[in-house]
Amino acid sequence: MSDSADDLLRAAKACAKSGNHEESISLYRQYVELRPRDPFGWSCLAYQLLALRDGDGAIAALREALRLKPDYASAHALYGFALERKGEVSAAIAEYRAAIEADLVNVHAFENLARLHLGRGELKEAERVAREGRRSWPEALEMRRALADILVKRKRWREASAEYEAIAAKCPDDHDVLVRLGWVRERAGDFQAARTNYERALALRPEAPETLVSLSGILRRLGKLDEAEAAARHAISLSPGYVTARVRLASLLCRHWRSSRVEGYLQAARSEIEEAMALAPDADAVLLTWANIEWYAGNWERSLELLEQGARRRPELACYHGAIILRSLRQGMFGRAWKARREFLRVPSGDRDWNFPWAGLQADAPRASAGESSSGLDSAAEIPDGDANAPGGPG
C-alpha cells in the first residue's frame, strides 16, 4: 500500500507541474483514500481544485487538512484564499491571521492579508501587515511587491520607487517590473530615470505597445516631441486599435501645430482623434482631447459644446465641469461658467480626480499574450503555495 501511495504522489506531482489539473486531482483523490490522515495530501488536493476554480471542493479538502493538523499554517493561508474568493472576507482574514500565528514567516498569509486590506481600501492596515511581513521574510519579493503597490495607492511615490528598485535589482530582466518602476518614478517627478526604465523594458520586449505609449508620454514631458511622436506611431503600427496610442499621438500633433502653426499637424491631429472616437466613442479621454484640439484651433464654441456633451453624459466627472468653468470665464460667458460651477460642486471633493479619464482609457491597452492561458485557470502566483516541500505541491 505504501509503494502504491508513493507512486500516486509522484504521478500527481508530475501532472500538476505539467498543468494537467484534472488528472492531478484524480490522482490526489486516490492518494487521500490510501492515506486519509495525511494533511499534506488534502492540502495538495485543495491547491489543484482551486486551480480549476472548485472553491467548495477546495474548502472541504482544507477543512479536513486542518482537522488533522490544526496548526498547519500553509493550509490556513490557502483556506483564507479560498474563502476570500467566495467573498467571505471576515473568515478569510481570520484564516490568514491563523496562518501568521502558526508560522511567522508564512509569506503567502502576509501577502494575501495585506492585499485583502488594500482591496478594501484599508490602506494603513494593509501597509502595517506588509511591513510586518517584510520584516518576517526580508528576502521575499512578494512582500516588496505588495508593499510597493500599497505605497502607490497612498501616493508615496518615492518610497514605492525604492521598493520597485529593489525588486528590479533582483529581477533585471522582468519587463513588467521595469515598466512599473518607470511609472512610479514618473509620478515622483524623476522623468529621466523613468525614461531609462521604459527603454530598458522595451529592450526586453520591443513590441509592447503599452510600453511605447508610456515612453512617448515621458518623452513629451522631457520636451522630446519628435521622439515621443515616433514612439506613439510605433505603438499604433503594432496595434492599430490601441486607442490610448491614438489619443497620445493626436495630442502630440496638436502640440506640434501650436508651436509651428503648420496646418498639416492640425489636420493630422483631427484625423487621429476621429480614429480614436470611432474605436471608443464613449471614452472620456477621447472626447476631452478632441475638445482640447478644437480649443487650441480657435473653435472655442465647438470645444465648449464637446465638453458640455461629456458633462451631460458623465456628470460625476469633475474634469468636464472644471474645463467648462475655465474656458467660459476666458470667453466672458459668466452664466455658463456659473452653471458649470454648480455641477462641479455637486461632485464629492474626494472624487475630483482630473486624471481619471486617461487612467480609465489604459484599460484598453493590449495585454502581453506570452504565458497567458485562455482556460480561466489561476496562475501559481495567484494561489498560495500549499507547502513548498509538500509532495505534489506547486513545486
Per-residue model confidence as pLDDT tens digits over 179-227: 999 999 999 999 999 999 999 999 999 999 999 999 999 999 999 999 9
* Residue matched to cell numbers 482537522: 67
Examine residue 25 and state whether it is found in any structural domain, yes or no: no
**Number of domains observed in the structure of the chain:** 1
pLDDT in tens, 53-81: 999 999 999 999 999 999 999 899 999 99
Q: Is residue 252 part of a domain?
A: no
Please indicate, yes or no, if residue 191 is contained in any of the structural domains: no
Taking the C-alpha atoms of residue 203 and residue 200, their distance in angstroms, rounded to an integer, is 5
181 and 161 in contact (C-beta within 8 Å)? Answer: yes
Q: List pLDDT tens digits, range 280-315.
A: 999 999 999 999 999 999 999 999 999 999 999 999
Distance separating alpha carbons of residues 143 and 129, to the nearest angstrom: 10
142 occurs within a structural domain: no
Domain that residue 314 falls in: 306-365
Residue 96 covered by a domain? no
- Does the residue 16 lie in any domain? no
Could you give the count of Cα atoms lying within 13 Å of 238 in the half-sphere of its Cβ? 21
Instruction: Give, in order, the Cα–Cα distances in Å from 338 to each of 44, 48, 299, 324, 376.
Output: 64, 60, 21, 10, 51
Q: In this structure, is residue 328 part of a structural domain? A: yes
Domain-embedded: residue 120: no
Please state the pTM of the whole predicted model: 0.76
Average pLDDT taken over every residue of the chain: 87
With contact defined as beta carbons under 8 Å apart, do 164 and 178 qualify? Answer: no
